[in-house]
């Protein structure tokens, strides 16, 4: 009982103290230096701004647009990335042929593609979807290839002994065995993809959370900027949690 | 794969080359195939009009050569300066704060959750706020890069200084090492090694942040050049700028990986699985 109380104190109370201290420093900074609202609004103002924002229709439209771009790009990038990675993991030749191309493209970070996607697709959704797919694709390809190559060889031998053909072996044995690694790569890729959407929306977009906060910044509505950052962080955390839940549900289903 | 590599490394250079030759040839074939697909696609998409949507490899290469001869050095130095200042500040701040949070159980329990809550908000999300705070100059970009690096390195710093084995610390104090000596000879080295690895991992995060900050602020550096050629609808120049970005990132990563292998050779595993 004592131990339990102690654990609750450590896990809940102390972090709460940390949050309170940070908010107090924030509030004190605003009060002491008399910072105007456009530099740093106090925490309470940000909270009410966030509450007002959630009540508007435009906010939900921006959230919807950003999420749509992310989900579409993520689905495309993950599917293609896992497929390429699987092929690279299964065939040594294929891996050797593809590695230089993948490695050299991987160093062109997704953000550097933003201007090109604007030239190609304008401010439409397609450009962002391509960008997210690109960002996600390389993470998934590289991690899947590595995970497949590291699958326990015993499994392969057992599969071969049971008379499985290479394709069946790849899909029914190697892919499930590599799933934990692929799932954690999928979470890392989601974080990168989500932030790529936001960055792309800064530079050229007709709607979305990134556009919302850059617009707010240029009209010096700092409260909205911070509220938007909180929303972006929450959605990022939510997406990550959702992928974790899906990955956890997978093995129990089979 | 690792075993093959080890066996090949043990052999004589000539054998090693012979063993690797098919792989290298396949790699070249793959690269050539990619370039061929690119050329064909650029021919197929050649629609005329204002916007040359997909220039061929040669046009991009020409543009790259022109950029390298021209403003590339100036832009690179400008970007690298932002990057280096931010990176050093981020690493130093993360090391100091990591030491406090990792060594003091109370401070760790109070503030680590706050750090964990901020971490998922990528430094990219801070771009507009940082521009409100610091304007379009050097300050906002340094802040963003520093933040990006800090958020990565802090995890490594906390990990490094809290994972000194308790037995080792007890032995040291039993043998009469003072607090400061223990810090200097046990905790600090353990922390700095993790910080080193973390700061290599943070290279790419920091470099990506420089790009976004320069794309948004667009006053100087490689990112500003990229936005400039984008606004004049010059697709070959845009692609050349992208390649120059990739090359600089690649060179930095290669240099740092080599340095890291030299300083901490036993952490090969960590060097290999960086994104």
What are the boundaries of each domain within chain A?
A: 1-34, 40-253
End-to-end CA, chain B: 19
**ipTM computed for the complex:** 0.84
Using a CB-CB distance cutoff of 8 angstroms, which residues of chain A are in contact with residue B230? 115-116, 118-119
Among residues 138-197 of chain B, which lie with CB inside 8 Å of chain A? none
Tell me the mean pLDDT per 10 residues along chain B, length 275. Answer: 46 72 87 90 69 81 91 91 94 93 86 84 88 87 93 90 80 81 82 87 87 85 90 89 90 86 68 43
Tokens representing B255 are 């240099």
| Interhelix angle A92-106/B235-263, nearest 10 degrees | 110
How close, in Å, is residue A35 to chain B by CA atoms? 11
Query: What is the average pLDDT across A87-106?
Result: 89
Q: What is the pLDDT of residue A250?
A: 66
Closest residue to B129, CB basis, from A105, A107, A226: A226
Flag whether residue A114 sits within 8 Å of chain B, measured between CB atoms.
yes
**B104 with B187, same domain?**
yes
CB contact at 8 A, B128 and A214: yes
CATH of the domain at B177: 1.10.3720.10
Position B6 scores a pLDDT of 47
Based on the domain organization, do B147 and B37 belong to the same domain? no
Distance from CA of A249 to the nearest CA of B (A): 23
**Numbers of helices and strands, H then E, in chain A:** 12, 0
Q: What is the model's pLDDT at position A37?
A: 85
**Residue A228 pLDDT greater than 80, yes or no:** yes
Q: Are residues B96 and B37 part of one domain?
A: no
Question: Is the domain of B149 the same as that of B214?
Answer: yes
As for how many domains chain B has, the answer is 2
pLDDT tens-place string over residues A176-190: 889 888 998 999 899
B108 to chain A, closest Cα gap in Å: 9
B106 interface with A at CB cutoff 8 Å: yes
Ramachandran sector of residue A221 (left: φ over 0; alpha: ψ -120 to 50; beta: rest):
beta
According to the model, what pLDDT value does residue B11 have?
A: 54
Q: What is the pLDDT of residues A112-148, one digit of tens each?
A: 999 999 988 888 899 999 999 999 999 999 999 999 9
Determine the Cα–Cα distance for residues A234 and B196; give it in Å rounded to an integer. Answer: 30
| B33 lies in the same domain as B68 | no
Q: Are A110 and A131 in contact (CB under 8 A)?
A: yes
Q: Do both B19 and B126 map to the same domain?
A: no
A141 contacts A102 by C-beta, under 8 angstroms: yes
| Closest Cα in chain A to B272 | A146
Confidence (pLDDT) at B272: 46
Question: How close A233 gets to chain B, by Cα (Å)?
Answer: 5
What confidence score (pLDDT) does residue B170 get?
81
Residue B205 shares a structural domain with residue B106: yes
In a domain, B50, yes or no: no
Q: Are A41 and A30 in contact (CB under 8 A)?
A: yes
pLDDT at residue A1 in the model:
46
For residue B215, give the chain A residue with the closest CA. Answer: A203
The answer to whether position B51 is within a domain reads: no
* Residue B49 falls inside a structural domain: no
Digit-coded pLDDT (tens) for A168-221: 888 888 998 898 889 989 998 999 999 999 999 998 888 999 999 999 998 989
Matching residue, tokens 């080359």:
B17
HSE (side-chain half, CA atoms, 13 Å) at A110: 28
On whether both B67 and B38 belong to a single domain, the answer is no
Give B71's DSSP letter: T
Please answer yes or no on whether A116 and B242 come within 8 Å at the CB atom.
Answer: yes
Tens digit of each residue's pLDDT (9 = 90 or more) over A1-53: 455 566 666 678 888 888 899 999 999 999 998 888 888 999 999 999 999 99
Residues B109 and B230 in one domain: yes
Evaluate whether the domain defined by A40-253 bears CATH number 3.30.470.10.
no
Q: Nearest residue of A to residue B125 by CA position? A: A229
Separation of alpha carbons A145 and A245, rounded Å: 23
Find the residue in A nearest to B130 (Cα): A217
B144 & B91 share domain: yes
Distance, in Å, from the CA atom of B189 to the CA atom of A176, rounded to the nearest integer, reads 40
> B267 and B222, same structural domain?
yes
B23 interface with A at CB cutoff 8 Å: yes
| Chain A, window 58-97: residues with a beta carbon less than 8 angstroms from a chain B beta carbon | 93, 96-97
Output the pLDDT for position B122. 83
Q: Does one domain contain both B172 and B233?
A: yes
Q: Please indicate whether residue A74 or residue B174 has the higher confidence score (pLDDT).
A: A74
Domain around B12: 2-44
Report pLDDT for A4: 58
- How many other CB atoms are found less than 10 A from the CB of residue B55? 22
Average pLDDT, rounded, for chain A: 89
Contacts of A201 (CB under 8 A, 6+ apart): A66, A128, A208, A209, A210, A211, A214
Nearest CA in chain B to A213: B128
């Amino acid at each position: 009982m004592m131990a339990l109380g102690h654990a609750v104190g450590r896990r809940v109370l102390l972090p709460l103290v940390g949050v309170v201290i940070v908010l107090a420093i924030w509030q004190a900074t605003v009060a002491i230096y008399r910072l105007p609202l456009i530099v740093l609004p106090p925490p309470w103002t940000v909270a009410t701004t966030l509450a007002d924002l959630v009540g508007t229709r435009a906010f939900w439209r921006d959230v919807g647009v950003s999420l749509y771009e992310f989900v579409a790009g993520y689905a495309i990038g993950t599917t293609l990335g896992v497929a390429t990675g699987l092929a690279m993991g299964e065939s040594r030749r294929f891996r050797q042929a593809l590695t230089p191309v993948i490695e050299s493209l991987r160093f062109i970070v997704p953000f550097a593609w933003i201007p090109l996607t604007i030239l190609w697709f304008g401010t439409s959704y397609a450009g962002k979807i391509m960008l997210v797919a690109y960002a996600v694709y390389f993470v998934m390809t590289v991690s899947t290839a590595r995970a497949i190559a590291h699958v326990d060889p015993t499994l392969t031998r057992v599969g071969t002994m049971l008379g499985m053909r290479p394709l069946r072996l790849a899909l029914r044995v190697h892919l499930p065995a590599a799933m934990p690694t692929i799932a954690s790569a999928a979470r890392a890729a989601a974080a990168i993809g989500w932030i790529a959407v936001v960055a792309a929306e800064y530079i050229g977009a007709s709607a979305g959370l990134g556009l919302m906060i850059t617009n707010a910044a240029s009209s010096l509505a700092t409260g909205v900027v911070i509220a938007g950052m909180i929303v972006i962080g929450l959605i990022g955390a939510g997406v990550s949690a959702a992928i974790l839940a899906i990955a956890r549900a997978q093995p129990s289903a089979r | 794969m690792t075993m093959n590599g080890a066996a090949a490394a043990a052999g004589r250079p000539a054998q090693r080359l012979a063993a690797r030759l098919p792989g290298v040839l396949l790699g070249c074939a793959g690269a050539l195939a990619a370039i061929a697909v690119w050329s064909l696609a650029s021919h197929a998409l050649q629609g005329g009009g204002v916007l040359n949507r997909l220039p061929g490899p040669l046009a991009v290469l020409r543009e790259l050569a022109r950029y390298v001869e021209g403003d590339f050095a100036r832009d690179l130095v400008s970007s690298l300066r932002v990057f280096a200042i931010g990176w050093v500040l981020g690493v130093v701040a993360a090391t100091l704060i990591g030491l406090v949070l990792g060594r003091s159980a109370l401070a760790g329990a109070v503030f680590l959750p706050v750090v964990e809550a901020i971490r998922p908000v990528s430094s990219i999300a801070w771009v507009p706020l940082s521009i409100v705070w610091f304007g379009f100059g050097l300050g906002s970009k340094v802040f963003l890069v520093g933040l990006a690096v800090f958020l990565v390195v802090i995890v490594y710093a906390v990990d490094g200084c809290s994972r000194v084995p308790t037995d080792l610390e007890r032995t040291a104090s039993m043998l009469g090492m003072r607090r400061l000596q223990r810090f200097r000879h046990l905790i600090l080295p353990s922390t700095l090694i993790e910080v080193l690895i973390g700061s290599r991992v943070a290279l790419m995060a920091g470099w990506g942040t420089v790009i976004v900050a320069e794309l948004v602020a667009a006053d100087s550096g490689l990112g500003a050049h990229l936005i400039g050629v984008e606004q004049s609808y010059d697709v070959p120049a845009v692609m050349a700028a992208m390649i120059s970005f990739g090359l600089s990132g690649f060179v930095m990563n290669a240099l740092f990986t080599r340095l890291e292998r030299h300083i901490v050779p036993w952490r090969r595993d960590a060097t290999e699985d960086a994104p």
